[in-house]
A and B are shown apart, each in its own frame.
Chain A
């Protein structure tokens, strides 16, 4: 079935960067891609992008291009999401999720990582 376990909560100042990890287990890592979705407090879901765990190919939401980078480490079955030049409106719960059948819909989710941006 599988499991995605994310790294712990982070606090950053505006202008800083954050890197969140998502470790997969219980399934063949390279067979699926991973998407990242964030949710600001009390707000809806925002799709951020996806990465192929196998090839490292990525695609990002237009509004985040230039600030976000997703990478994969097949030796540890871990995907990373780095967000740079943080702003207050980047404060959110960040989820990784496993794509299904090569598509960007998600049946397996991580527990979420809270990132707080505050001076």
Chain B
């Protein structure tokens, strides 16, 4: 199975900041990469698919980039509601998730 390595594990930022989360695949997944947001006690919410395609209703402050083995999720103008754990997932092979990045604001 493909391994997905996500970093940092935790991230602390302030309202209005810009943050970046990185996800690295053990082999190329082309652009078959999704990003999710999960809040405590809730199911994950899909933010981005195909590395950079924003899902409907997701604020444009969220953006994704990358291809092959290296991907990033960026969030600009951080809001208190962005406090959550963020996961990447490759779906070019099976569906392996990264370990998650907990964002504290």
Q: What is the interface of chain A, defined by CB distance below 8 A to chain B? A: 35, 37, 44-47, 49-50, 59, 61-63, 95, 97, 100, 103-107, 109-112
Partner of B95, one of A44, A47, A95, A112: A47
Known pairs A59-B94, A104-B95; A47 contacts B89 (CB<8 A): yes
Do A50 and B55 touch across chains, with their CB atoms under 8 A apart? no
Q: 17 interchain pairs (CB within 8 A)? A: A35-B95, A37-B44, A44-B97, A45-B87, A45-B97, A47-B89, A47-B95, A50-B95, A61-B1, A61-B94, A95-B44, A97-B43, A104-B89, A104-B94, A105-B49, A105-B95, A109-B43
By secondary structure, the A interface counts as strand
| Residues of chain B contacted by A47 (CB below 8 angstroms) | 89, 94-97
Q: What is the interface of chain B, defined by CB distance below 8 A to chain A? A: 1, 32, 34, 36, 38, 43-44, 46, 49, 55, 85, 87, 89, 91, 94-100
A104 to chain B, nearest CB (A): 4
A40 to chain B, nearest CB (A): 12
Do B34 and A105 touch across chains, with their CB atoms under 8 A apart? yes
Do B91 and A104 touch across chains, with their CB atoms under 8 A apart? yes
Query: In the complex, what distance in Å separates the CA atom of A9 from the CA atom of B43?
Result: 16
| Residues of chain A contacted by B100 (CB below 8 angstroms) | 44-45
Known pairs A45-B87, A47-B94, A61-B94; A106 contacts B46 (CB<8 A): yes
Do B43 and A110 touch across chains, with their CB atoms under 8 A apart? yes
Do A107 and B43 touch across chains, with their CB atoms under 8 A apart? no
| Residues of chain B contacted by A49 (CB below 8 angstroms) | 94
A2 to chain B, nearest CB (A): 13
